[in-house]
Amino acid sequence: MAEPETLLHVEELHRSFDVSLPALERLLKGKKRATLKAVDGISFTMRRGETFALVGESGCGKSTVARLVVGLYRPSAGRVVFAGQELARLRSRKAAAPVRRRLQMIFQDPYASLNPRWRVKRIIAEPLRTHRLVASEAALRERVAELLLQVRLSPADGEKFPHEFSGGQRQRISIARALASNPEFLVCDEPTSALDVSVQAQILNLMKDLQRELGLTYLFISHNLAVIYQMSDRVGVMYLGRLVEIASAEQLFASPRHPYTRLLLDTIPSIEATAREREPVAGEVPNPIHPPSGCSFHPRCPFANDRCRRERPELINAGRTLVACHAVEEDRLPRARRYTVYETSIPQPQ
């Protein structure tokens, strides 16, 4: 492969939700319509075989992006182009099915995402039947067994029901279901957030192994920066529906540029720093229905000035990082604390 191939392209993606009161109540209380801009103009590109992570606090819109990418939501504006095809333009189910097959999702809660009344073999077989990927019942059984082995479960587990499994095992079942249709691209929305750390390690290792074996591309959503450091090649940091910084994982952790990225890195409880005295940053994520003017981070930003309160920053090139910050552009930020980071040692798919 000469040039890394672009597999996913997201362009000026917007998605708003109507959060107005019911019409009559609105009239009586004299309130206006209210919209929540969950995703407010996001663009990024993903190469085949890479892991791109989105990180941010709750309500920043990262899960909405995940759902837009797999087509669970339609964009209010902007485009999601997967392997050269724009998903939202494929009007009929029939036209969309071949693209859908190549693009699957793993959800956060393995307790809610598996049908409790179905046996595991039926859960995993569902995508195979939907997309008519197997010719006979015998082939179906064989493929289900193969998928169970692939996620390090045993074929006999297919006869059981989801409640007979632990959280980690259920997440393996979700992964097997996602892999059933031979996808190239997996959207993983907080895949390990509901799991205990020792189980999380098992699932993250499994995901890395599968990526290497099958050449998968991951869009990885998480609020846990340590998990993101371990898993991803490139990282996008989101705040109130916008990307504020995009960089390679090494670059982002070695020299974070955006003040919000720095805040996130500074606030992670660290195992090495026992009883570290730290100055927590005051303030919280503002209400996204009434986002602040200008840069939406300015009320919490120690470096905000008049321009930040007025003018919304766009992503600009700053060295090897894309960052949306006036202070970076004007070069008035102090140096950040750095993590010692080695150049990539994540095994790349061949």
Partner 1 sequence: MLEPLLRVENLRVELPTRRGVLTAIDDISLAIAPGEVLGVVGESGAGKSLTGAAIIGLLEPPLRIAAGRITLAGRRIDKLPDEAMRRIRGREIGAIFQDPLTSLNPLYTIGRQLVETIRTHLDLSPAAARDRALALLAEVGIAGAETRINHYPHQFSGGMRQRVVIALAIAANPRLIIADEPTTALDVSIQAQIIAMLRRLCRDHGTAVMLVTHDMGVIAETAHRVAVMYAGRIVEIGEVAEIVAHPRHPYTRGLMDSIPRIGGRRQRLRQIDGAMPRLGAIPPGCPFSPRCPEVADRCRRQRPDLLPAIGTEAACWLYDKMLLPEKETLDG
Q: Which residues bind partner 1 (CB under 8 A)?
A: 57-58, 166-169, 196-202, 204-205, 208, 223-227, 229-230, 249, 253, 263-265, 267-276, 278, 280-282, 284-285, 339-342, 344-346
Query: Is the Cβ of residue 135 or residue 275 nearer to partner 1 in the bound state?
Result: 275
Residue whose C-alpha is closest to residue 143's, from 96, 105, 169, 180? 180
Query: Is the Cβ of residue 137 or residue 279 nearer to partner 1 in the bound state?
Result: 279
Shortest CB 239 distance to partner 1, Å: 11
Query: Is the Cβ of residue 60 or residue 87 nearer to partner 1 in the bound state?
Result: 60
Shortest CB 183 distance to partner 1, Å: 23
Q: Are strands 51-55 and 217-222 parallel, antiparallel or unpaired?
A: parallel
Geometric angle at alpha carbon 96, from 93 and 102, rounded to 5°: 135
Query: Is the Cβ of residue 57 or residue 329 nearer to partner 1 in the bound state?
Result: 57
Shortest CB 154 distance to partner 1, Å: 14
206 alpha-carbon distance from chain centroid: 18
Shortest CB 37 distance to partner 1, Å: 19
Strand partners, 105: 187
Shortest CB 228 distance to partner 1, Å: 9
Rounded to whole angstroms, the Cα distance separating 57 from 242 reads 12
Strand partners, 52: 219, 234
Strand partners, 189: 221
Query: Is the Cβ of residue 90 or residue 281 nearer to partner 1 in the bound state?
Result: 281
Residue whose C-alpha is closest to residue 121's, from 151, 143, 150, 152? 143
Rounded to whole angstroms, the Cα distance separating 282 from 274 reads 22
Shortest CB 30 distance to partner 1, Å: 20
Rounded to whole angstroms, the Cα distance separating 269 from 275 reads 10
Q: Which two tokens stand for residue 241?
A: 């529906």
Query: Is the Cβ of residue 34 or residue 77 nearer to partner 1 in the bound state?
Result: 34
Secondary element (H or E) of residue 53: strand 51-55
Shortest CB 202 distance to partner 1, Å: 5
Query: Is the Cβ of residue 205 or residue 293 nearer to partner 1 in the bound state?
Result: 205
